[in-house]
């Protein structure tokens, strides 16, 4: 690809990564992970190039990792550098907080931080794929819709659609995409999603679900996962746009009610078939967790509760916490950020009415 540049209004630009429906992969992706797709190669080669050239806040080596004993299979990773050196989160007061051009935003990033711009064939819209300079794991990037539009951190159907397609462009079951709302550990009030590789299975891929609105692909994720949430599942390319609209309708409802939320997209088992132990991942699971709003990081905790932690991936800040953390203590940290049972039940009734 050609070197990056900046356009006249300061928005980073990049060589386009064009793709079509033929590049979206549903079938044949399973654990253990196999070959890399064209998307995987472009992302990982560009990401490693920027790591070698020193564009990150720290050099990410192989992270100490252990699966916590217990029924969940929570994956703990020691990432001291991220805990100590990441950019301080912006001061957030509301889920509806307006974009502030005076604060850090993605029009200010260095051109070299942009890997490429995702562009679906036949569309003029682009989504920048940008390195996260304080990475959680290998290949940690941000998906940023046109930064010049100066959109606040409120999920849109178009941004989510790109995130879903990014997961389908990868042939790695460990490539996931997620979103943190304001009040749910989003550190920058400028629309973006996270994408990263973790070569570990997570409990939300296979946890059983209760059908709420199966025709709409909506299920209740409860047992076998770190936190209760609402799960959407689909397995056909033709369902992509409708699913993005449905999920964004749900998250918009939450934002309007002032309910903070995290979202996670992963390849996973079909909730209708019960083959949860199989290696194959025939469709996408999109999980939305409503939770208590928390403005500012809880530095005293072993980890902050955001999209990856709710999915079962726990980046730990200190060696002591990494060595002593148990499944029970991890789940207790997560539960402190959740809605009460009564609040969640009421929200469930409202969402079923909204989508049904």
**Residue bearing tokens 């540049």:** 5
Sheet holding 313-316, edge to edge: 65-67, 75-78, 313-316
CB 104 within 8 A of CB 87: yes
| Cα 247 to Cα 240: distance, rounded to the nearest angstrom | 11
CA distance 144 to 82: 21
Active-site residue identified among 192, 194, 261, 313: 192
Q: Which residues have a Cβ under 8 Å from the Cβ of 108 and sit 6 or more positions away? A: 10
Query: 225 burial class (0-12, 13-18, 19+ CB within 10 angstroms)?
Result: buried
The single-letter DSSP state of residue 237 is: G
Angle at CA 203, nearest 5°, toward 199 and 205?
75
> Among residues 73, 278, 296, which one has the least CA distance to residue 185?
296
Report the largest interatomic distance among the alpha carbons of the chain, rounded to a whole angstrom: 54
- Can 93 be counted among the known catalytic residues? no
What is the rounded distance in angstroms from the CA atom of residue 288 to the CA atom of residue 292? 13
How many of the other CB atoms lie within 10 Å of CB of 349? 9
Catalytic residues: 192
């Amino acid at each position: 690809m050609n070197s990056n540049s900046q356009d006249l209004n300061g928005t980073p630009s990049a060589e386009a990564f064009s793709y079509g429906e033929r590049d979206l992969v549903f079938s044949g992706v399973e654990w253990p992970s196999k070959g890399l797709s064209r998307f995987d190669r472009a992302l990982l080669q560009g990401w490693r190039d920027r790591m070698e050239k020193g564009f990150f806040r720290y050099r990410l080596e192989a992270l100490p990792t252990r699966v916590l004993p217990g029924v969940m299979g929570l994956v703990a990773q020691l990432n001291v550098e991220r805990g100590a050196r990441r950019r301080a989160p912006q001061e957030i007061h509301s889920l509806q907080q307006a974009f502030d051009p005076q604060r850090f935003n993605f029009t200010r990033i260095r051109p070299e931080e942009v890997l490429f711009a995702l562009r679906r064939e036949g569309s003029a819209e682009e989504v920048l794929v940008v390195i996260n300079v304080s990475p959680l794991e290998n290949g940690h990037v941000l998906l940023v819709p046109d930064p010049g539009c100066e959109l606040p951190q409120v999920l849109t159907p178009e941004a989510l659609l790109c995130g879903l397609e990014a997961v389908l462009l990868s042939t790695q079951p460990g490539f996931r995409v997620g979103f943190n709302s304001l009040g749910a550990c989003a550190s920058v009030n400028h629309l973006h999603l996270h994408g990263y590789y973790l070569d570990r299975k997570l409990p939300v891929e296979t946890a059983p679900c209760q059908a709420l609105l199966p025709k709409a692909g909506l299920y209740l994720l409860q047992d076998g996962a770190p936190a209760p949430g609402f799960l959407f599942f689909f397995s056909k390319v033709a369902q992509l746009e409708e699913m993005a609209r449905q999920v964004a309708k749900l998250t918009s409802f939450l934002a309007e009610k002032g309910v903070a939320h995290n979202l996670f997209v992963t390849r996973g088992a079909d909730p209708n078939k019960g083959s949860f132990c199989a290696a194959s991942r025939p469709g996408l699971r999109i999980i939305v967790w409503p939770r208590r709003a928390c403005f500012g990081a809880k530095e005293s905790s072993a980890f902050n509760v955001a999209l990856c932690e709710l999915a079962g991936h726990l980046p730990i800040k200190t060696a002591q916490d990494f060595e002593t953390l148990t499944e029970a203590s991890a789940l207790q940290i997560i539960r402190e950020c959740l809605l009460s049972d009564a609040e969640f039940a009421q929200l469930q009734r409202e969402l079923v009415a909204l989508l049904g």
